Amino acid sequence: MIEETVISKAIIESYIKDLLASVESDVIIGGAGPSGLCAGYYLAQKGFRTLLFERGLKLGGGLPGGGIMFNRIVVQDAAKSMLDEFGISYQEYQPGYYVANSLETTACLTNKAIKAGLRIYNLISIEDVIVREKSVNGVVINWSSVELAKLHIDPLSFKSKIVIDATGHPCEIARIVERKSGGKLLTPSGKIEGEKSMWAEVAEQLTMENTKEVFPNLYVTGMAANAVFGGPRMGPIFGGMLLSGKKVAEIVIDKL
């Protein structure tokens, strides 16, 4: 016999127990694209209480779409070892260019991150941050459906020692801080510099350099790092995203 109410109770109890344990944590990541998933994997693997809020239903951000919906991505030599580490299969297309299935890549990153202990909450949007003593102390969240329906419903707050903006091109968390904090971002102009046009080689290099703290206790990774610090875009080469996620985790681990 299968009792429907038992199914309901199992789901509600399991989710609420997990959510309650997440109200205070070490690190909160915004965005489950490749950089956010990688950051979450390395942080959780080292035992830091890490959670990730993702606006969408599915994970991976811009990764599963590959290049114009051809579900393949390219990864360069510098990040080849990460493909191996995550168990992602690939083929060498030309020396130094590896091509991988973007769906497999998304699945492998997600699987490894969750198994390492990263708590992922999908369908939730970060709509604000908590700022105390001029440093970021956590995030303010709401259901993405509330946001989409433009309903006036108050949010909930989750505290953490560090917040990582992995929201991709729109760099939403840094943008909220820029708009609301009254303080300056740690960029040359004190504001968001804005993403520049396509230049894959420079972009991949700058993604790494731009992966850093942008406001006390707020770090940027992936495409958000380039958008905040004024780096160019790079199209469907994803090594920089993977490496940036790893780098931000290493910086944060050092700080914690």
Interface mask toward ligand 48H for 48-77; x: CB under 6 A:
-----xxxx----xxx--------------
Total residues in contact with ligand 48H, by rule CB under 6 A? 29
Q: Is 229 an interacting residue with respect to ligand 48H (CB under 6 A)?
A: no
Distance in angstroms (rounded) separating the CA atoms of residues 210 and 246: 13
Among positions 26, 36, 113, 120, the unique one binding ligand 48H when judged by CB under 6 A: 36
Site for ligand 48H in 139-178 (CB under 6 A): 166-169, 172
Among positions 26, 27, 28, 31, the unique one binding ligand 48H when judged by CB under 6 A: 31
Q: How many CB atoms lie within 10 A of CB 169?
A: 15
Burial 179-209 (b: 16+ CB within 10 A, else e): eebeeebebeeeebbebeeeebeebbbbbbe
Q: Which is nearer to ligand 48H, 34 or 48 (CB)?
A: 34
Q: How far is the CB of 29 from ligand 48H (least distance, A)?
A: 9
Q: Is 138 an interacting residue with respect to ligand 48H (CB under 6 A)?
A: no
Q: How many CB atoms lie within 10 A of CB 150?
A: 6
Q: Is 34 an interacting residue with respect to ligand 48H (CB under 6 A)?
A: yes
Q: How far is the CB of 145 from ligand 48H (least distance, A)?
A: 13
Distance in angstroms (rounded) separating the CA atoms of residues 33 and 44: 16
Q: Which is nearer to ligand 48H, 75 or 224 (CB)?
A: 224
Bridge partners of 67, per DSSP, are 70
Cβ contact 23:158 at 8 Å = yes
Among positions 102, 125, 137, 142, the unique one binding ligand 48H when judged by CB under 6 A: 125
Q: How far is the CB of 26 from ligand 48H (least distance, A)?
A: 18
Which residues are within 8 A (CB) of 96 and not within 5 positions of it... i.e. 6 or more apart? 76, 77
Q: Which is nearer to ligand 48H, 54 or 178 (CB)?
A: 54
Q: How far is the CB of 222 from ligand 48H (least distance, A)?
A: 2
Which segment (17-25, 74-82, 209-217, 220-228) binds ligand 48H by CB under 6 A?
A: 220-228
Strand blocks (E) in the chain: 24-30, 50-54, 72-76, 90-94, 97-101, 119-122, 124-132, 135-143, 156-165, 212-215, 218-220
Cβ contact 57:192 at 8 Å = no
Q: Which is nearer to ligand 48H, 9 or 93 (CB)?
A: 93
Cβ contact 59:122 at 8 Å = yes
Distance in angstroms (rounded) separating the CA atoms of residues 94 and 111: 29
Given the rule CB under 6 A, which residues bind ligand 48H? 30-36, 53-56, 61-63, 125-126, 166-169, 172, 222-224, 233-235, 238, 241
